[in-house]
Structure 1
Amino acid sequence: MGSSAYSPLDQLMQVNPHRKTGIRRRNHGRPHSVEDEPEVPQLCWLTVKIVSMRNLCKADLLSQTDCYVKLWLPTASCQGGRTRTVPNCRNPVWNETFHFIIQREVKNVLELTVCDEDTLTADDQLFTVRFDVAKLQPGAKVHLSFELNPETQEELEVELLLENIPGASENITTNGVLVSREVCCLEVHVDERKTKSPYTRRHFTFTMKGSYEGTQDVSPSPLCSQGSSGTTTFHYIKHSQPRLHMTLPEESCFCDHGSARREMDVSVPLPSLALGKTVTVMRCGSYEVSVKEEDGGKNSDVRLGFDLCPEEQDFICKRKKVVAAALKNILHLDEDLQEDEVPVVAVVTTAGGVRSMTAMFGSLLALQDLGVLDCVSYISGLSATTWTMAKVYEDANWSQRDLRGPIDDIRKCVVKSKLHCFSLDHMKYYEKELCERKQEGHKLSFTDLWGLFIDCMLHHQESTQKLSDQQVALKQGQNPLPIYLSLNVKDDFSTLDFKEWVEFTPYEVGFLKYGAFVPSEAFGSEFFMGHLMKKLPESRICFLEGAWSNIFSHSFMDAVHLLGHSEDFWHRWTRGTERDVEEHPTLPKRPYEQPTCLSIPKGCLSNTLREMLTARPVVSTYHNFLKGLQLHNKYLENERFCMWKDTVLDSSPNQLGEMGDYLKLVDTAFFINTSCPPILRPERKVDVILHLSYNGGSQTLPLDLLSEYCSERGIPFPDVQLSQEERDHLKECYMFDHSSEAPILVYFPLVCDTFQKYKAPNVERDPTEMEQGRVDVSNCTAPYGTGLLTYTEENFNKLLNLCSYNILNNNHVILQALRAAVERKKRLKSSSSPHSSKLPSSVF
């Protein structure tokens, strides 16, 4: 990648001149502007010449800067480059050239970091220039000056040249946001030839940065008359300019004349190899190292696309039959609904520990008694409401059976002391389960133990249920589809600064923002560039519950956000400085190009403070199925990505695209306490949302935050404005239906209003029953504090009956919303197409 006396482009073509021209693409859910572009060669050779710096500001107190420049283009190569150091100079000149192979459909941002070399301490990074390679046109050499500081006339000079590679091709899969590139498999063979050497150590270490395997050890079999060999493999991006780093054993360093006993590190660049051809890369002493490149390509195991998966689409078709029959019954319709007249209804919840779990049981019971549960197609939960969902979905026909049975079972668990969960037998059981989980290949965290505790707390015996097992409950459309919600976060960032919605269904697990999904049974397995590399046993759902309801994951900055305080003060102390800079001459602008950015990092003290403020005690850790995938060149123009982008790194593709080894999942309630986001995916076409709030503090705060979130991103959502009088004296139910573009919202705050006087709708309490109507849900403390795991039977029944009553007492509002949704669907149908097919009136 560094300077050379010959053309690397010529070398590339000479090594393998038989590659086909052009690019073959598989597109899934891509925007129209991307799909319709003509097919052109997309592999290019980028030449970067670091010329000089002018008027470099002084970094050392006693001398001028000892300056060098680091180059980093992670989408092209995992090998960084750097210039030589020019000591004690304000105007260093380098004139050093570096080369990269780039895929133009990927967002390639070249980072040039100017550093000051120090002898006694770590080198200082003075600043970084980030340049979008999409600004360049093939065949035109440009000489650019980046104006870093107009006042001091500080400038960095570089020369850039982009050239098409006419003889190379690459298969890619993309949805317009993420790109899965072609993968190769490198077989590395170590042959031990016949020798009389007395030394017996035969241990090799091979490393290929950026590969799935990373580092591998090889030990050939004991020497025999025929010789012996050892083999290992590396999977890597085909056009990533790989280098094979080898640590050779002591014996290989001996020549016939003898030498000192030592190990030797060797780094070998691997140009394009002919597939299936063995090439010797090292002969030394009694060993020979050879490599062979094989096609590692196969169909992607990660689904890149924003559409619903085929299984969910099939479920919705089946579910609409159930919903159509239920709506005809409760709305007293004269005719069967046609398929395009059936509204999609969703139930969403908020978090609140055992309070929310208990309250949700009461709400579901009331919806079932009213016949509304059969009108629901989706149930979305977060935090502790996922405990309710996981419990009911243990029965494949739960919504068709009386929920009072499961409620009686959960009542016994809630009122029972939790001390038994800490017994010696249970501790031994936890240890055994965690050891087995580690042996399976999962990365352990404290949330795994928390999940086992939840399982013990809510079940009389251990549950073996897995998320994919819930597919049985959906096979005939007999129940709503459950959606569980979590947040993916990054180290050194608060949840407000970086969070990504991750949804879990019995069919798939995936990211709303990226449109990337894997089968639920494959979640937790190891992936690379969209390919399943190592299948791990599917996690039991209790371990997922530990991740969904991870109450231990909030940082100090998260607490600041939850308390309603601004993070601006802390950001000033912990964030680096970033601003756009001009390059001269000015290059032509394109909508999808990113401006050239100058980043000036904070010092060690600020970095330490940042680490302290953003440190999370515990996060749930799973293998990252996005590992290796890269961002599309026009990802910021994709409307689905823009709908869900909400991190400070969304416009920093190198940092956003650092698809690390692990996902770090936290409880959604630490950002917005609602499970609504996956329901708002346009592909789900939800018409009515029944929003059940079990929040322990302000009942309107989650709704306000969700409304603001949707407004900022252009997501259709009802206007939920309430007067201060209404906020101070909340009713049991509100209906918001102000726009045909947004779903109808029926909102149930957790309040104790008419329940104080009525034990059932229109049935007044007698004086002896008044105590049963006094339910204190006005705050998040006792008797329903979020942290409480045990209730008295009386308090459990009060909360259950309250939430059930609030639904029953507002049945007319729910029916009004359903009727309005049916009428809206009929109007939409009459204004579009007159043709539609009848649904059979039979119900499962």
Structure 2
Amino acid sequence: MHAKNVRIGYSLNEAEKQHVSRRRQTVLQCLKQHGISCSEDEVPNIAVLGSGGGLRAMVGLLGSLSQLEEEGLLDCIMYLSGVSGSTWCMSSLYKEPNWSSELKTLKNNIIQRLSGTKVSKKKMAQKLMKYMEKDNFSLTDVWTALIISNMVNEIDEDSLSVQRSNYTNNPYPIYTVIDKQCKHDGLDQDVWFEITPDESGYSLSGAFVDSSCLGSQFEKGKKIKDQPEMDMLYLQGKLFHVLRKWIWGRTYNYLNNMTGRKLIIRDYIDAGVLHNSPYFSVLRKERDIDLIISLDFSAGDPFQTVNQTAKTCKALQIPFPEVAVTYGGNTEPKDFYVFKDGSKAPTVIHIPLFNGVNCKGEMKKWEEKYSTFQTSYSHCKITDLLQKAGSNIKNNKDNLLKEIENIIKEKKTSNSA
């Protein structure tokens, strides 16, 4: 079923298919540089996930990606997906064409921005006035203009669709939020909403719209009124936002009064309040992910994201490996976990930000130093956190390559059977 302006279906959009096809050649060459030989159809689909966690997640993901680049592993990655604070890092990166090959310079620029002079109140007020010109103005605009701009220390007025020309040689980006109404109603199969430069919609139930239409008004699957596309500052605000309404999710939603859609009122909120990691964006069977690298920047239980995902996947009959790990008492987590079960489920590598290897008995100290709702970090705190996140990749380069090789061996065996 296809309605004008709205696509109902499960297939990947054509732009993503083309990107993955081109990216596969990059991954193939990267593997060869590490002495791993495989054919094009044996190239593993690898996704990196960044959890939520405010500035801690933003800086942690930057440190992890920077170390992946330094170890020569970044070009092995097919998808990069994030929630909440991790999406702030992603939006900073995808502003720059070919960011993955210029990451060292870009990382320094982001450090300087985050630790530099704050965005002036005058600029915040000017941005708020621009938002007030929209006929779907809401408290989300106030939150974005006055709070988020202060935390990320910039006012990014680029639109998401502009990134279409910027990610060509980079991992395919997926930003995620959740459907608040579905979460409360327990309709787990319809909760996860993904946003890419090309198309946005429900990851598992399959209802998508061109991302340039984010903000426009729809009726019965047809766009009836243009609105300016949401800028990246607004999306960053929405991606880290749990209490105020997102008006577009209601009268401006592309599913508004659309035949066959059970719910009409939709509010989209920070995906960090559910699982806090964007697993379900890459668990779409159409993406055929072989390996998930979960970078967990959460506060509290470092296994909550993967445990909750495993439980939900079991209920929804989505292939996912069994997670046999508990946390509590005086034990400190390791810096590298592998979950796999030999079925159709992807292999999951889980890496907690703070652990017994890089913190050595001082985990509580580091967790307190980087609490979730801090609005700024000093230059020193940023560089220290970058080093902590990076060490998890550096210390486990061989382990990462081993799991990649294991997947390729499985593919070779499957192809020869």
TM-score > 0.5, shorter chain as reference: yes
Q: Residue type of the partner of 1:813?
A: N
**Which blocks of at least 5 consecutive residues in structure 1 are unaligned?**
1-26, 28-172, 174-179, 181-299, 554-617, 632-655, 758-772, 832-844
> How far did 1:658 drift?
3.8
2:238 aligns with one of 535, 547, 565: 547
Instruction: State the partner residue of 1:319.
Output: 23
Aligned with 1:543: secondary structure? helix
Distance 2:239 2:88 in 1: 9
Instruction: State the partner residue of 1:306.
Output: 10
Q: Residue type of the partner of 2:97?
A: A
2:209 aligns with one of 518, 522, 526: 518
Distance 1:828 1:410 in 2: 44
Instruction: State the partner residue of 1:718.
Output: 321
The question of whether the paired residues in 1 share the 8 Å contact of 2:128 and 2:141 is answered with no
Instruction: State the partner residue of 1:680.
Output: 283
Instruction: State the partner residue of 1:734.
Output: 337
Q: Deviations over 1:611-633 (max 9, x none)?
A: xxxxxxx12221110122222xx
Instruction: State the partner residue of 2:228.
Output: 537
Instruction: State the partner residue of 2:254.
Output: 625
> How far did 1:341 drift?
0.7
Distance 2:374 2:263 in 1: 39
Instruction: State the partner residue of 1:692.
Output: 295
Distance 2:177 2:310 in 1: 19
Instruction: State the partner residue of 2:105.
Output: 405
Distance 2:142 2:104 in 1: 30
Aligned with 2:125: secondary structure? helix
Share of identical aligned residues, percent? Answer: 29
1:709 aligns with one of 309, 312, 336: 312
Distance 2:262 2:330 in 1: 42
Q: Residue type of the partner of 1:304?
A: I
1:376 aligns with one of 64, 77, 86: 77
**Structure 1 residues 398 and 355: CA distance shift in structure 2, 3 A:** same
User: Would you say 1:829 and 2:393 are equivalent positions?
Assistant: no
Instruction: State the partner residue of 1:230.
Output: none
The question of whether the paired residues in 2 share the 8 Å contact of 1:736 and 1:745 is answered with yes
The question of whether the paired residues in 1 share the 8 Å contact of 2:303 and 2:327 is answered with no
**Structure 1 residues 727 and 301: CA distance shift in structure 2, 3 A:** farther
> How far did 1:538 drift?
1.1
The question of whether the paired residues in 2 share the 8 Å contact of 1:486 and 1:503 is answered with yes
The question of whether the paired residues in 1 share the 8 Å contact of 2:51 and 2:277 is answered with yes
Aligned with 1:474: secondary structure? coil
Instruction: State the partner residue of 2:393.
Output: 807
The question of whether the paired residues in 2 share the 8 Å contact of 1:752 and 1:776 is answered with no
Q: Residue type of the partner of 1:682?
A: K
Q: Deviations over 1:312-350 (max 9, x none)?
A: 1111110100011111112x03x5x32211110000121
Q: Write the mapping of 1:658-673 to structure 2, written as runs, cut at 5 A.
A: 658-660=263-265, 663-673=266-276
Distance 1:310 1:342 in 2: 20
Q: Residue type of the partner of 2:385?
A: L
Q: Deviations over 1:384-438 (max 9, x none)?
A: 111000001111110011x2322222223333475x54x2x234313322133x1
Q: Residue type of the partner of 1:324?
A: L
Q: Residue type of the partner of 2:149?
A: D
Q: Residue type of the partner of 2:43?
A: V
> How far did 1:720 drift?
1.4
> How far did 1:788 drift?
0.3
Q: Deviations over 1:170-217 (max 9, x none)?
A: xxx5xxxxxx5xxxxxxxxxxxxxxxxxxxxxxxxxxxxxxxxxxxxx
2:55 aligns with one of 341, 348, 354: 354
User: Would you say 1:364 and 2:62 are equivalent positions?
Assistant: no
Instruction: State the partner residue of 1:207.
Output: none
The question of whether the paired residues in 1 share the 8 Å contact of 2:151 and 2:376 is answered with no
Distance 1:657 1:727 in 2: 47
Q: Residue type of the partner of 1:301?
A: N
Q: Residue type of the partner of 2:89?
A: T
**Structure 1 residues 808 and 310: CA distance shift in structure 2, 3 A:** same
> How far did 1:754 drift?
3.1
2:157 aligns with one of 456, 464, 484: 464
> How far did 1:792 drift?
2.6
* Aligned-residue RMSD, C-alpha: 2.4
The question of whether the paired residues in 2 share the 8 Å contact of 1:496 and 1:671 is answered with no
> How far did 1:711 drift?
0.9
> How far did 1:455 drift?
3.5
> How far did 1:449 drift?
2.5
Aligned with 1:361: secondary structure? helix
> How far did 1:301 drift?
1.4
**Which blocks of at least 5 consecutive residues in structure 2 are unaligned?**
none
> How far did 1:383 drift?
0.6
**Structure 1 residues 724 and 665: CA distance shift in structure 2, 3 A:** closer
The question of whether the paired residues in 2 share the 8 Å contact of 1:377 and 1:481 is answered with yes
1:339 aligns with one of 34, 40, 46: 40
> How far did 1:484 drift?
0.5
Instruction: State the partner residue of 2:356.
Output: 753
| Structure ranking higher in helix proportion | 2
1:428 aligns with one of 107, 117, 125: 125
> How far did 1:546 drift?
1.0
Q: Write the mapping of 1:139-218 to structure 2, written as runs, cut at 5 A.
A: 173=2
Q: Write the mapping of 1:586-605 to structure 2, written as runs, cut at 5 A.
A: none
Aligned length: 412
Distance 2:303 2:238 in 1: 26
Instruction: State the partner residue of 2:137.
Output: 444
**Structure 1 residues 727 and 429: CA distance shift in structure 2, 3 A:** same
Q: Deviations over 1:270-294 (max 9, x none)?
A: xxxxxxxxxxxxxxxxxxxxxxxxx
**Structure 1 residues 715 and 455: CA distance shift in structure 2, 3 A:** same
The question of whether the paired residues in 2 share the 8 Å contact of 1:349 and 1:676 is answered with no
| Structure ranking higher in strand proportion | 1
Distance 1:305 1:532 in 2: 18
The question of whether the paired residues in 2 share the 8 Å contact of 1:468 and 1:506 is answered with yes
User: Would you say 1:657 and 2:262 are equivalent positions?
Assistant: yes
**Structure 1 residues 745 and 497: CA distance shift in structure 2, 3 A:** closer
Distance 2:42 2:124 in 1: 54
Normalised to the residue count of structure 1, the TM-score between the two structures is 0.47
Q: Residue type of the partner of 1:343?
A: P
| Of 304-313 and 520-529, the range deviating more from structure 2 | 520-529
> How far did 1:723 drift?
5.2
Q: Deviations over 1:574-621 (max 9, x none)?
A: xxxxxxxxxxxxxxxxxxxxxxxxxxxxxxxxxxxxxxxxxxxx1222
Distance 1:428 1:415 in 2: 21
Q: Residue type of the partner of 1:414?
A: L
**Structure 1 residues 797 and 474: CA distance shift in structure 2, 3 A:** closer
Q: Deviations over 1:545-569 (max 9, x none)?
A: 111111x42xxxxxxxxxxxxxxxx
Q: Residue type of the partner of 2:23?
A: R
Q: Write the mapping of 1:469-484 to structure 2, written as runs, cut at 5 A.
A: 469-475=162-168, 478-484=169-175
**Structure 1 residues 816 and 466: CA distance shift in structure 2, 3 A:** same
